[in-house]
Structure 1
Amino acid sequence: MKKIHITFALLLYSVLSFSQDISGKWNGTVRLGEDKEISFIFNIENIQNEYVTHLSIPSQRVAGLKPQNTSFNNGILLIDGANLGIKYEGKFNKTSQRFEGKFTEGANTLPLNLKQGELKLEAKNNRPQEPVKPYPYNEENVVFENKQADILLAGTLTLPTSDKKSPAVILISGSGPQDRDETFANHKPFWIIADHLTRQGIAVLRFDDRGVGKSTGNFSEATTADFSTDVLSAVKYLKSRDDIDSNNIGLIGHSEGGIIAPLAANQTKDVSFVVLLAATGIPGSEISLMQSISMRPFPVPNEVAYEQAIRKAIAIAASNKELSVIKSELLEHYNATITPILTPMVGYDEKVSQVINGLIETRTTPWVRYFYNYNPATEIEKLDIPVLSLNGTKDTQVVAEINQKGIEDALVKGENKDFKVLKLEGLNHFFQESETGKMEEYSTIEQTFSPIALKEISGWVLEHIK
């Protein structure tokens, strides 16, 4: 269920034989094809003789990502973003005065060179749905605590201008480190949803994921279950306010947020309804298998054998064995099944080994292992509150047909008395009107969120306010 906004692992190889202050902005661009680029800005500061880095990705409109540690010793720059699932390591070239290194995302490694200075940005894509101030409602930056996790979560609360207490919803983002707007491909869908709902008289709380933006915590160590406690903390915060109707607090979850929402709702009596957007209704292991096949960027000689190999890899990673044993078994399995496929494409053993090790690390993160073993239908079946489930017919990440069947079957089995499951024609994973639904199309579409989908959400929510 990983989204275009990307989950990274950055590597930069560096040999620098002299000492220097590397404070300042460093920028570079990764080419993902003939017509696609992603630019990165690393703002490195020296604070009390320790380096601190903030990462921005302008094309994704992502800013303020803070890797947990930055070091520069013996010419080696290491930006350790394990808290965000990223890593950058690099080599300084004295002649060109730049870092020359590599960018790695999962099994993919691409060259990335960094030069010091400001990045010249191209004109941003037109996003006509984004609201313009002054807004016809109030907006407030808020911070609330997840005491269980000992973290602070920062967000934005939009409130109708009314003397009465407002019904409210909490927006729950999809997989990967997300800011409060769920920014992806220069789009900010949660901003659009919040604006639309607040204009309809509904307060909306959206917040940065733990470890992202102004929220504290470690994102990479958290699972779907951990994120559900963040949502429960948001519910508790809204209940503490005297301008929120505590009898009308709902959850709206997108993608992974759509499987977090039922998990959170079943742990409290303070959630009155749930909206699932592009949510899954089948086990995570099956979702991962389907995506490994449908989104694979390379051909394989035998599709049946490849599927069997992926199934076994997932089963190994999902087991309850010690992590060291799991990694060892995965290495043996991949060497027998995936290495023969990669070798003709990659061409040399060191590169193959690098890719295999990347696959192993990807399959064994806390989030992924929990996801493999999590069946959202189990939690959906327990819901005794109203449920709206929307999926787009052109969603290539979470296929509507099979997942909506899983969701509807669970609601029927649980004897839920008030639910609506609806497919929206022509919409992709982010509810944009699309041609193909493929991920590479997201950034080229001006529309951020279909007005038809917005109307379905707000109309249903307004009908279910007590």
Structure 2
Amino acid sequence: MSLILWILLSFVNQSAVQQEAEVVLPSVPCLEQYDEAEASYKKIEIAFTSGEAPLAGQLYLPVSDGPHPLVVLLPGGGNNVEYLRNTPNFFAPRFAHCSLAALTFDKRGTGESGGDYATSTFDDFINDAGAAIRKMAARPDIDADQIGVVGFSQGGRLAPIVAVRSPQVAFVASVSGPLTSVEDTRYFALENAFRRSQVSDSVLARVMPLWRQHLDFVAADDLVSLQRLDQVLAEMSNKVHPALLPPQSDRLPQTGIYNSMGLDFSTELAHLRVPWLSLYGEMDAVVPVQKSLDILHERMATGQHNNYSVIVVPGVSHSFVHPETHESVPFERFVFDWILKQVEEVGGKSLNKTH
């Protein structure tokens, strides 16, 4: 299977040269021949703490003798535990089948993990990942020199910051991870969601400026301005459907996104010093891909860090699905291929083989 990919091919004088090229999906035998019914790996329940929050997860281990390289998997946004577990639980046993250990854990305040999701912030999630990494690095069956982080969507935003703040991290991969501010990402996703719902341009012209004000005030933690906006929203609710309007000041969502609205981690990216893969779908309606890429290249240039790779798959969504045909691209092949190469470069042996 071949695709036309926009792929970062080379670096010249600390500047990325982006070209369009036809590239065959990488062959990853250990992944392609994975059979859930016949797969063999060990799964261990894991408990650790981050601050005062007791967190719970599962460690997937290869059946071979360790110590093993480890991948820590960070989920997307929200607190729907079944949805959050879906992608990490797809990746983890496949990593174990490919001779890497993999850790999944429930986000604080969800599933088996304690803590309060309603008051959590992205900084909390970053700290939680750091605590997980320290816990794993102390295990004799884990190679503490080969611990990586892979994040999906919201986790993709946080993964490189985890790598900046946690010295044990040796490599990082982000899948559909926004690099724009939390506020700008939210605005972008909302506008696209309204357009997909066929909200007219005339209605958007009324509601989107109100959303911008609302998000600005939330980011600034400006309750007085939010309360003043309530009257405007009440009046506008007689002209457009209330579901299109921001919430009133006394009904703000209690989510990690809202609690983190004022955060912008992009400046920290300049301190990244480990290999980094960023993977995007060109037609992503949740993440501002081009703006994220602009930030990525700028921050890597600022930090004089050239060991990073970018792949943009054209014509596919946030989840790497073609909107019209609903055909999905097996994006996991890019992630596995890149990570196995990082591990093999350090470990000196091929893991990408038939099991």
Q: TM-score range by the shorter chain?
A: 0.7 to 0.9
Displacement, 1:315?
1.4
What is the 5 A alignment of 1:96-107?
A: none
Unaligned runs of 5+ in 1: 1-128, 346-351
Are 2:296 and 1:407 aligned?
Answer: yes
Q: Secondary structure at the match of 2:278?
A: strand
Does the 8 Å contact 1:179/1:207 carry over to 2? no
Displacement, 1:171?
0.5
Aligned to 2:13: none
Q: Secondary structure at the match of 2:234?
A: helix
Distance 1:368 1:458, change over 3 A: closer
Are 2:72 and 1:170 aligned?
Answer: yes
Q: 1:194 aligns with which of 92, 100, 106?
A: 92
Aligned to 2:271: 382
Aligned to 2:23: none
User: Does 225-234 or 262-271 show the bigger shift?
Assistant: 262-271
Q: Secondary structure at the match of 2:174?
A: strand
Across the aligned residues of Structure 1 and Structure 2, the Cα RMSD in angstroms comes to: 2.8
Counterpart amino acid of 1:264?
V
The number of residues matched between the two structures is 310
Aligned to 2:283: 394
Distance 1:139 1:368, change over 3 A: closer
Q: 1:137 aligns with which of 37, 41, 51?
A: 41
Does the 8 Å contact 2:48/2:56 carry over to 1? yes
Distance 1:207 1:366, change over 3 A: closer
Aligned to 1:38: none
Displacement, 1:180?
7.5
What is the 5 A alignment of 1:357-368?
A: 358-360=247-249, 363=252, 365=254, 367-368=256-257
TM-score (norm 1): 0.61
Q: Secondary structure at the match of 1:249?
A: strand
Are 2:77 and 1:179 aligned?
Answer: no
Distance 1:361 1:203, change over 3 A: farther
Per-residue CA deviations over 1:103-160 (Å, capped at 9, x if unaligned) read: xxxxxxxxxxxxxxxxxxxxxxxxxx995344222222222221x1x12211111111
Displacement, 1:246?
0.4
Q: Secondary structure at the match of 1:213?
A: coil
Separation in 2, partners of 1:427, 1:130: 25
User: Larger relative CO (CA 8 A, sep 6+): 1 or 2?
Assistant: 2
TM-score (norm 2): 0.78
Aligned to 2:53: 151
Separation in 1, partners of 2:218, 2:188: 16
Counterpart amino acid of 1:460?
W
Aligned to 2:150: 252
**Identity within the alignment, %:** 23
What is the 5 A alignment of 1:54-453?
A: 132-146=36-50, 148=51, 150-179=52-81, 182-183=84-85, 188-296=86-194, 297=197, 298-299=199-200, 301=202, 303-321=204-222, 323=223, 325-336=224-235, 338-342=236-240, 345=241, 352=242, 358-360=247-249, 363=252, 365=254, 367-431=256-320, 433-436=321-324, 450-451=329-330, 453=331
Distance 1:359 1:135, change over 3 A: farther
Distance 1:182 1:357, change over 3 A: closer
Counterpart amino acid of 1:151?
A
Separation in 2, partners of 1:166, 1:390: 25
Separation in 2, partners of 1:246, 1:178: 31
Displacement, 1:381?
2.0
Displacement, 1:454?
1.6
Unaligned runs of 5+ in 2: 1-32, 347-355
Distance 1:158 1:365, change over 3 A: same
Per-residue CA deviations over 1:224-256 (Å, capped at 9, x if unaligned) read: 011111101110110121000001111111111
Separation in 1, partners of 2:311, 2:252: 32
Separation in 1, partners of 2:250, 2:170: 39
Say which structure is richer in strand: 1
Does the 8 Å contact 1:280/1:376 carry over to 2? no
Displacement, 1:193?
1.4
